[in-house]
């Protein structure tokens, strides 16, 4: 006679206690926040955008690298060419932005940290403003200066040239030059930082909703996010 098979009860999934759940989430939020801030800081050392101009007399092309610290690359050569159509020199562009670039990145990083760590549930979303503001603000600033330079040509220039707006993303044409423009390392690092901060903000909201101090929470977090409230232990 065969022996009946023993039936074993399935193992139940482990249940996280409130304290452990909050701590795990806080670690993830802090990790995303710090990594996002580090990416913003590192992006300051890399170009955000690149422009390439190719013409018969320049088969290898002329390059412009735009970063938070200014414009580098074949600036002198392009300034000489721009002189013939009455365009200002590159050094005239975004002088205030170049001078304030380092301060803006530092301010954005500190604002993100304060918004994600110290702000209460009412203001926890404020960390998104500097995180999204840096890459978006950079694009808007580039568009503004490109449009301004292309539409303020000197009338007494050696060559008459119709006002124009360079293509910011993709391929375009300026006179006999074929242009390409695209974002590069610094910009993508700032985008990655913004995505990490966005994840941190969304996860932080779930932490605030589960926190025993949720009802009494105001503009600042009395636990500074890193400490689990005693009520949750």
Q: Can you tell me the distance from the alpha carbon of 28 to that of 47, in angstroms, rounded to the nearest whole number?
A: 29
CB 141 within 8 A of CB 171: no
Q: Report the pLDDT value the prediction gives residue 233, as an integer from 0 to 100.
A: 45
Tokens representing 19?
């304290």
- In the predicted model, residues of the chain with pLDDT beneath 70 are 1-22, 119-124, 210-233
Burial 73-94 (b: 16+ CB within 10 A, else e): bbbeebeebbeebbbeebeebb
In Å, what is the CA distance from 141 to each residue of 45, 66, 68, 135?
Answer: 18, 11, 11, 10
Q: Can you tell me the distance from the alpha carbon of 54 to that of 106, in angstroms, rounded to the nearest whole number?
A: 37
**Which domains does the chain carry?**
28-212 (1.20.140)
Q: Report the pLDDT value the prediction gives residue 13, as an integer from 0 to 100.
A: 45
Closest to 226 (Cα-Cα) out of 126, 128, 113: 113
pLDDT tens digits, one per residue of 89-127: 888 887 888 888 889 899 988 888 887 777 666 666 778
Q: Report the pLDDT value the prediction gives residue 23, as an integer from 0 to 100.
A: 73
Its pTM stands at: 0.81
Q: Report the pLDDT value the prediction gives residue 100, as an integer from 0 to 100.
A: 87
Sheet with strand 170-174: strands edge to edge: 70-73, 58-67, 49-55, 177-183, 170-174
Tokens representing 141?
């600033």
In degrees, rounded to 5, the angle at the alpha carbon of residue 90 between the alpha carbons of residues 88 and 92 is 70
Q: Can you tell me the distance from the alpha carbon of 208 to that of 119, in angstroms, rounded to the nearest whole number?
A: 11
């Amino acid at each position: 006679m065969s022996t009946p098979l023993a039936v074993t009860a399935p193992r139940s999934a482990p249940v996280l206690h409130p304290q452990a759940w909050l701590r795990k989430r806080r670690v993830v939020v802090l990790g995303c926040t710090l990594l996002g801030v580090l990416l913003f800081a590192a992006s300051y050392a890399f170009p955000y955008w690149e422009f390439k101009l190719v013409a018969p007399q320049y088969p290898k092309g002329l390059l412009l690298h735009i970063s938070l610290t200014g414009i580098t690359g074949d600036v002198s050569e392009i300034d000489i060419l721009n002189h013939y159509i009455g365009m200002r020199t590159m050094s005239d562009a975004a002088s205030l932005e170049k001078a304030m670039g380092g301060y803006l990145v530092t301010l954005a990083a500190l604002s993100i940290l304060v918004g994600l760590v110290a702000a209460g549930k009412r203001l926890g979303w404020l960390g998104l403003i500097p995180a999204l503001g840096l890459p978006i603000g950079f694009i808007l600033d580039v568009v503004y200066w490109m449009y301004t330079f292309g539409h303020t040509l000197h009338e007494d220039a050696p060559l008459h040239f119709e006002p124009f707006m360079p293509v910011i993303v993709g391929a375009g044409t300026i006179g006999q030059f074929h242009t390409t423009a695209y974002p590069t390392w610094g910009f993508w690092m700032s985008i990655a930082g913004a995505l990490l901060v966005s994840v941190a903000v969304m996860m932080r909201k779930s932490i605030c909703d589960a926190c025993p101090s949720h009802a009494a929470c105001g503009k600042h977090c009395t636990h500074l996010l890193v400490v689990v409230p005693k009520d949750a232990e």
